[in-house]
Amino acid sequence: MHNLYEQFRQLLPDAPLQAGTVLEVGSGVVLVVLPGGGLIRARGNATVGQTVFVRDEVIEGIARVAKAGFVAVAAGALPGVSGWHRASPARCLPR
């Protein structure tokens, strides 16, 4: 018989991978603003202004943003993700 807690966890969806812009940097923790205006405190290292990928409040990688607003993901940088993905870093910054 499986662990009941593990069976419950399998019913829950995986945490989404989100892209956002680093707004503030602390000691091992950064403040990331999402395109919709939401804020996330995430563990990891990045510099102010960088676009990063965040999942479960952990920085999973740095995104390279092209002028057209697409994010390039290096093969192997994020499990199961590679190629170009749509992003809008201009909308990430508060007005």
CA distance 6 to 77: 28
pLDDT of 31-62, one tens digit each?
999 998 999 999 999 999 999 999 999 999 99
pLDDT of residue 91: 42
pLDDT surpasses 50 at 28: yes
Q: How far, CA to CA in Å, does 73 sit from each of 42, 53, 78?
A: 19, 10, 8
Task: Break the chain into its structural domains and give their ranges.
Answer: 15-91
What number is the average pLDDT over the span 25-36?
Answer: 93
CATH topology for 15-91 is SH3 type barrels. (2.30.30)
Task: Evaluate whether 29 touches 57 at the Cβ level (below 8 Å).
Answer: no
Binned at pLDDT 50, 70 and 90, residue 93 comes out as very low
Binned at pLDDT 50, 70 and 90, residue 90 comes out as very low
